[in-house]
Amino acid sequence: MILFGIKNCDTVKKARKHLDNSNTPYQFHDFREAGLDDATLEAWLDKVEWKTLLNTRSTSWRQLSDEQKADVDRDKAKALMLDNPTLVKRPVLVSGDRIQVGYKSSDYDDVVAAHG
């Protein structure tokens, strides 16, 4: 199980605490330190709608130019997220074939139960 995010994100902290409290082993992948590669993002986009992965409410999104934010489709969203991984809605939890975007306690309970 791999949890993707950034260390100082409050939602990522909640997700990490949830996994820690349930004694669920996981790796943490920090976007700021380790980046995000094309193959990983493509695998996510095969299973999750790009509009779910692209965080248009983030500070990173607001800092983009109007041109960058215009006419976004899957390919443009992918390019933007590869260039700036903090545009990915956090956290992303990958467990086997399952990808959970964002944090909701009940969803994490389901992932932990399926993983265990």
Distance CA 102, CA 52 (A): 9
Task: Output DSSP code: residue 100.
Answer: E
- Sign of the CA dihedral 5, 10, 16, 18? negative
Mark whether 9 is an active-site residue: yes
Cis peptide before 25 (omega within 30 of 0): no
Out of 3, 6, 9, 45, the active site residue is 9
Helix, strand, coil share (%) of the chain residues, nearest 5: 55, 15, 30
Report the half-sphere exposure of 65 (CA within 13 A, side-chain side).
Answer: 2
Catalytic residue numbers, as ranges: 9
